[in-house]
Structure 1
Amino acid sequence: MSNRRRPSSCSAPPGAGKSTVAQAVFERTLDTGTRAQPTTEDFLRTISRTRPTVTTEMALEFADHTIR
């Protein structure tokens, strides 16, 4: 890996604001010049920024149908 750095305009910590673990690891690899591995923090950050795909109303409707 080369020792290329992101432009100084990208001052956020590696993975900050990224939507995937892969993107965070990729940027950390570029920043450090060594192959990075995903961390628990990468996964937790990504999960915390992921919107639910099922609304509460949808879950309750499903639960209602499964009880019958």
Structure 2
Amino acid sequence: MCLNFLSVGKFLGQTAKLMVGVPDYDTYVQHMKNVHPDQTPMSYNDFFRERQEARYGGKGGFKCC
């Protein structure tokens, strides 16, 4: 039962992140291992920054504030 509760919690966390436009880092790392085993995954900080720039237009793109 505890494992099921943790699985539901992780799922809800992933869902909440996706709703605000932040993909799940663990899913990204697993994808890299499965599909691109010859490449090194980005660090969490690099991943987060890259996703924010892609969503909100970093590096001179659109800025709301």
Same fold (TM over 0.5): no
Structure with bigger helix share is 2
- The one of the two structures with greater contact order (alpha-carbon pairs below 8 A, sep at least 6) is 1
Larger Rg: 1
TM-score by length of 1: 0.29
